[in-house]
Each structure stands twice: as structure tokens, then as C-alpha cells.
Amino acid sequence: MLIRDFIQHDLAPLTELTIDTFRPFYEESFRPLMGEAVFAVQHGNWRDDYRKQVAKLHAPKRHMHVAIAEAEDAIAGYVAWSVDPARKKGEVTILAVSAQHRRHHVGTALCEHAFDQMRAFGAEVVEIGTGGDQFHAPARALYEALGCTPHPLTVYFREL
């Protein structure tokens, strides 16, 4: 596996990887749990939201970076991260691994790469978040295996 910096040619495949990775959460977890009204307001345009977000993830002048994992001549996953040098804090924005490369330590390698890069930019602390639902259980297990300490947060939704 090779981990490399983002190039503009990566944008379309990363966007599709992001949509493919998180489709089960939005369509099979959040939507059935919350119902159509809440889903429509909160995440009704989730695909377009990701298209916009992924396009803005790599902006080195603003301390925002993307690293790509390649395996078998294909994108296996990516991590997007940023650093706030004044606060000495890093944050992982998105971690996405293709279905065929999950459980092969791609996520671990990407997180460790991002952590190393954050340290090089002066970060002393990293924030990485995920959901508390079943879909996000593998992410929670990964972050805890990396030595991250969870801080519970509960978000409530209600149709008015």
C-alpha cells in the first residue's frame, strides 16, 4: 500500500468513494430511524453535500490536507485532516475506505499518516469523531485501537 498526497485528478474518485462509503448510513440507518421529514431537512441532499465538501477538503494554504491510500493500482481509501497551528490541534475530517479494502489496516495506516503529518505541523492533540450508531461501530473500534479516548455526545432530532 502506498500513501500519497491528493492531486486534483483524485477528486471524482474520492467523491464517489465517499458517497459509496456513507450511503448505508444515510439510506439504511439514519433515514429509517428518523423518518422522511427529519431526513429531508437534515440529510436530504447528502450526496450533493459530499460533492461540495470533498471538493474543498484539500487546501494546504488553509492547513487542510488529503492523503490517499493506493493498493492494487486503485484508491483504497483516504483521510482528510486539518491543523490549527495556533491551538496546536489537528482534526480528522473524513476517513473513507473502499469496501474491498476494509479490514486490511487501510484506515489505521491513513490515520497514523495523518497523525504524523499533524505532529509535523505542530499539533499536540487530535480530534476525530464518528457516530454512536451501529454503522459507525467499526470506526469507533479503530479510533479506540489508535489510543483515542471517546467523549459521549448525544444529538436528538424531532419532527415539529
Nearest-5° Cα angle at 80, 9 to 123:
135
pLDDT tens digits for 43-62?
999 999 999 999 999 999 99
- Residue 153, pLDDT > 90, answer no
Among 3.40.50.300, 3.30.1240.10, 3.10.180.10, 3.40.630.30, what is the CATH number of 2-145? 3.40.630.30
Handedness of CA 90, 108, 151, 43 (dihedral sign): positive
Handedness of CA 7, 9, 15, 18 (dihedral sign): negative
E strands, the chain, where? 2-5, 64-71, 74-84, 89-97, 125-128
Amino acid at 7: I
pLDDT tens digits for 72-119?
889 999 999 999 999 999 999 999 999 999 999 999 999 999 999 999
- Residue 123, pLDDT > 90, answer yes
pTM across the whole model: 0.94
Amino acid at 17: L
Residue pair 34/131 in contact (Cβ under 8 Å)? The answer is no
In the chain, domain spans: 2-145
How far does the chain reach from its first CA to its final CA, in angstroms?
Answer: 49
71 exposure class (CB count in 10 Å sphere: 0-12, 13-18, 19+): middle
pLDDT (0 to 100) of residue 120 = 96
Q: How far apart are CA 139 and CA 120, in angstroms?
A: 24
